[in-house]
Amino acid sequence: MFNVLWLQSGGCGGCSMSLLNAESPDVMTCFKSTDINLLWHPSLSEASSDEFIALLADILNGNIHLHALCLEGSVMTGPNGTGLFHVLGGTRKPMMSWLSELAEKADYTLAIGSCAAFGGITAAGNNPSDACGLQYDNAILGGLLGAQWRSIKGFPVINVAGCPTHPDWVTNVLMQLALDDLQLSELDELNRPRAYTNQLVHHGCSRNEYYEYKASAEVLGDIGCMMEHKGCLGTQARADCNIRPWNGSGSCLKGGYPCINCTAPEFEQPRLNFTETPKIAGIPVGLPTDMPKAWFVALASLSKAATPKRIRQNATAKHIISPPGKPKDMK
């Protein structure tokens, strides 16, 4: 049996809501298939507060072995490092203290969502609650546990980042851990699982034909590429959202909204509005990953010059107004 404890701190609970949308199989069937035992979850468990506190005591006393500690939401360390902005109900003890102690008992510790990983939305602006991630404070190593911290199994905090996370990202990594099938090499430079960060959101995007010709949307609702004018970061964001969509078909881009790179630290504080592309001399500041600026400018100019009329017309429309025609050499 692989015991999992799921706690929540400074966040909205959106990752739990996303987790419940797991399908083929659903989350409980998924856990059952690999003997994952959900010891407690604030929204899914029926245990009383006294039973929950007794469970925590049993874990700390060594009576129950904790295989995986999952935190959803950022760690609230304010005011002045006391953690008193979030005291675990019925204990008079800050959640940050519980997390520090429980992490020492767990084989693995997972940050579920970008808030738990990097601080996320809760840490935005002037961060009045002194929120941070478990092992990162925005993009800087540290956070609650410290840069050098490692779990019993020798792992750093596994950052299952996203806002929210895709349910498969969570279930897949827990199943890998339960089967002792996750290696350190399978985490990227921010300790996120490579199973989803070895891809770009751009991969599989239904708007790729418009991107290739730099046929751009001008307002939300247009079906053209949203990189040039509407702030889309899909060519930089590390995630497989368009390859492994939500509920079998959904993603931000398919829903008509630009990618905001929510799996990365500091996504919550863009230079401009989420739907506005920062530019210098008319050139987007956030160019596609690994592409030199000069190449992009040259390719963009050639692409725009070669844009078929059909694509140019459709890019600024709300639906296809000019379908593909038959090739000219066909009779």
pLDDT at residue 327 greater than cutoff 70: no
pLDDT, the chain, mean = 92
Structure tokens at 118: 């990097």
Give CA–CA dist 28/16, Å, rounded. Answer: 13
Query: Percent of the chain at pLDDT above 70?
Result: 97
The string of DSSP codes covering 57-75 is HHHHHTSS-EEEEEEESBE
Query: Are β-strands 93-94 and 140-141 bridged in parallel, bridged antiparallel, or unpaired?
Result: unpaired
The string of DSSP codes covering 106-145 is EEEEEEESHHHHH-GGGG-TT-TT-EE-SSEETTEE-TTT
* Span 112-159, pLDDT tens digits: 999 999 999 999 999 999 999 999 999 999 999 999 999 999 999 999
Output the pLDDT for position 328: 60
Predicted confidence band at 331 (pLDDT cuts at 50, 70, 90)?
very low
The mean pLDDT value for 261-268 works out to 96
Q: Which domains are delineated in the chain? A: 2-197 (3.40.50.700), 200-319 (4.10.480.10)
Which residues, in sequence order, are bridge partners of residue 158? 110
Query: Percent of the chain at pLDDT above 90?
Result: 76
pLDDT at residue 278 greater than cutoff 90: no
The mean pLDDT value for 32-57 works out to 94
Output the pLDDT for position 326: 64
Output the pLDDT for position 281: 74
Report which of residues 290 and 145 the model is more confident about. Answer: 145
